[in-house]
Amino acid sequence: MFPSNSKNPDLDWSQVRETVKLLSLAAAQVDDLLKEGDLSVNTLTESFTALAEHMRVINSYLLALDSNPIRDKALASCSETSDQIQSSVVAFQFYDRMVQCLQHVTSNLVGLSELLERPECLYSPKEWLKLQNEIRSRYTMESEKLMFDAILQGKSISEALAEKEAKQQEQEEIDNIELF
C-alpha cells in the first residue's frame, strides 16, 4: 500500500508531510545545482589559471625582445588580458560567496524539514529556538546575519533586504574613507 499523499489522501494525510516533501525537493534542487555549478567553475578556474600562466610567459618573452612599437603593443595587450583575467577571478569570488549562501539555504531547509517531521518538536518553542540558533551559527557573513535577524524580528522580506542594502552601503562608505 502506498503512503497517503495529496494525490491519494486518506485519514493519514498531513499537510506537514506535504510541506516536508516540498522543502526536501527545494533543498535537493539547490544542492544539485551547486554540484553542477562547481564542475563548471572548476573548469573555468583551471582555464583562467592556465591563461594567466601563458600570459606571464608571453610577457616575459616580449620583455626579452628589443623595444619596438609591435613589442610595446603586444605588452599592452598582455597587460589588458591580465587585467581581464583578474576581473574574472573577482567574479569567481562572488560565485564562492553565492555558493556558501546557497549551502546555508540548503542546510536550513533540511533542518526545517527534520523539525517538521518530528511531531514532538513541531509544537515546541524550545526546538524552534534551537533550530534558529543552529541556523544563525552557520552564518559567516554579516549580511546573512542581518537578514536572519530582520526576518526573525518580524520584518517583511522587502524591509529586510532594504536594511541589508543600507548596512552594506554604510560599510562601503566606511571602507572608502581614506585616512590621512
Residue 118 in contact with residue 50, Cβ under 8 Å?
A: no
Confidence (pTM): 0.69
Does residue 171 lie in a domain region? no
Per-residue pLDDT, 36: 85
Per-residue pLDDT, 92: 83
Sign of CA dihedral 12, 17, 22, 25: negative
pLDDT in tens, 42-74: 888 889 889 999 999 999 999 999 999 999 999
Of the candidates 152, 156, 159, 153, the residue with the CA atom closest to the CA atom of residue 131 = 152
Sign of CA dihedral 98, 104, 106, 109: negative
Per-residue pLDDT, 1: 56
Does residue 152 lie in a domain region? no
Per-residue pLDDT, 180: 47
Residue 154 in contact with residue 114, Cβ under 8 Å?
A: no
155 DSSP 8-state letter: -
Does residue 161 lie in a domain region? no
Does residue 36 lie in a domain region? yes
Could you tell me the residue range of the domain that residue 100 belongs to? 15-140
Which residue is associated with the grid cell 524591509?
Answer: 159
Does residue 177 lie in a domain region? no
Cα–Cα distances in angstroms (integers) from residue 138 to residues 20, 25, 106, 131, 141, in the given order: 21, 21, 12, 11, 9
Taking the C-alpha atoms of residue 29 and residue 24, their distance in angstroms, rounded to an integer, is 9
Residues of the chain with pLDDT under 70: 1-6, 8-12, 177-180
Does residue 168 lie in a domain region? no
Taking the C-alpha atoms of residue 173 and residue 98, their distance in angstroms, rounded to an integer, is 23
Of the candidates 147, 109, 125, 114, the residue with the CA atom closest to the CA atom of residue 31 = 109
Number of domains in the chain: 1
Does residue 2 lie in a domain region? no
